[in-house]
A = this chain, B = another copy of it.
Amino acid sequence: VTCITLMTDFGNRDDSAGCCRGVIVGRAPDARLVDITHEIPPFDIRRGALTWINVLPYMPVGIHVGVVDPGVGTARRPIAVRTRRGDVLVGPDNGLLPAAAAALGGVSDAVELADERFMLQPRSNTFHGRDIFAPMAAALATGTPLGDLGPALDPATLVTLALPRPRWDGEALHCAVVYVDNFGNLRLNAGEDVVADWHLHEGDAVGVTLGGHRLSVPFARSFGMVPEGTAALIVDAYWHLMLAINRGHAAATYGVGIDAPVVLRRTGDGAKDAE
């Protein structure tokens, strides 16, 4: 059974997610429909891409519809991209798809979603999730070949998205908060390779500068390895670093949010070991 997943910035309150679900279950009654989330912040293409990068590797190979689409109804192209893993990503050509495809082996081929036979009629200018992306996904799920949906695109022409990268300044790692999760944990764009580079072991101190605060926090395997109310630097479930407070809310405590710069430094005895 083919799986169709949905990720949007529509919110759970509006009519939009329900309309997309309706189009899909009506046109692809045998497909399995799975919501990823509809709470991507409005217009936040980067957050959509990062969510897909985190979630899609855990989804079965399938058809993944992503709608974070501030350019709906303009010249931006509706597209579908096949990944080397075998998925098809469906959505607007605004950078959302290639970033996620990279997490699924990369883009193998792409098409512009142009064939009006697979769109709803009449078609609105403001809701292509319902009128183009959902019915195209249903067409794919019911056996329509990708190439029938429109002309092939050169993947090199797809709009790409610059994801923020950390940088080294001497022995300091300059990174940034890329997400504040439901628990207030500060998710950083620093990868777990720092843990090996710095020979970090449970309890080793790391210097953290953020939001005007200069902290020394222990590296810890998980939240509960430090006392309640205590901060720790932890490898998150996507193998990046996060700053968390056990049973607390780090973002509120430190008064920082997405895009806040964070500087990490190896401190204490471990700093010498690592040299």
Could you tell me which A residues sit within 8 Å of B by CB distance?
1, 3, 5, 7, 9-19, 21-23, 25-26, 29, 32-39, 42-43, 51, 54-56, 58-60, 70-74, 76, 124-127, 130-131, 181-184, 221-225, 234-239, 246-247
Q: Are B32's CB and A224's CB within 8 A?
A: no
CB distance from A262 to the nearest CB of B (A): 18
Selected A-B contacts with CB under 8 Å, 11 pairs = A11-B181, A16-B182, A18-B35, A18-B37, A18-B51, A21-B59, A22-B58, A23-B58, A42-B182, A70-B246, A73-B225
Q: Are A72's CB and B223's CB within 8 A?
A: yes
Q: Are A60's CB and B25's CB within 8 A?
A: yes
Instruction: Give Cα A239–Cα B130 distance, bound, in whole angstroms.
Output: 14
| Contact of A70 with B223 at beta-carbon distance under 8 Å, contacts A12-B39, A34-B22 already known | yes
CB distance from A68 to the nearest CB of B (A): 11
CB-defined contacts of A127 to chain B, threshold 8 Å: 236-237
3 residue pairs, one from A and one from B, having the closest CB atoms: A73-B222, A127-B237, A11-B182
Instruction: Give Cα A246–Cα B260 distance, bound, in whole angstroms.
Output: 25
The residue from B51, B125, B234, B237 contacting A130, defined by CB atoms under 8 A apart: B237
User: Which interface residue of A21, A29, A239 has the most chain B CB atoms within 10 A?
Assistant: A21
Q: Are A223's CB and B126's CB within 8 A?
A: yes
| Contact of A74 with B222 at beta-carbon distance under 8 Å, contacts A26-B58, A42-B183, A236-B126 already known | yes
Instruction: Give Cα A107–Cα B78 distance, bound, in whole angstroms.
Output: 38
CB distance from A134 to the nearest CB of B (A): 9
Q: Are B182's CB and A29's CB within 8 A?
A: no
| Contact of A29 with B26 at beta-carbon distance under 8 Å, contacts A42-B182, A58-B19, A247-B43 already known | no
Name the CB-closest residue of B to A70.
B247
The residue from B1, B11, B73, B183 contacting A29, defined by CB atoms under 8 A apart: B1
Q: Are B37's CB and A17's CB within 8 A?
A: yes
CB distance from A81 to the nearest CB of B (A): 19
CB-defined contacts of A58 to chain B, threshold 8 Å: 18-19, 22-23, 26, 130
**Knowing that A5-B18, A15-B37, A126-B222 are A-B contacts, what are 16 other residue pairs whose CB atoms are under 8 Å apart, sorted by A's residue number?**
A7-B18, A10-B182, A11-B182, A12-B38, A13-B37, A16-B237, A18-B35, A19-B54, A22-B34, A22-B59, A29-B32, A70-B224, A73-B223, A73-B224, A125-B222, A130-B237
The residue from B73, B131, B247 contacting A221, defined by CB atoms under 8 A apart: B73
Instruction: Give Cα A18–Cα B184 distance, bound, in whole angstroms.
Output: 19
CB distance from A53 to the nearest CB of B (A): 9
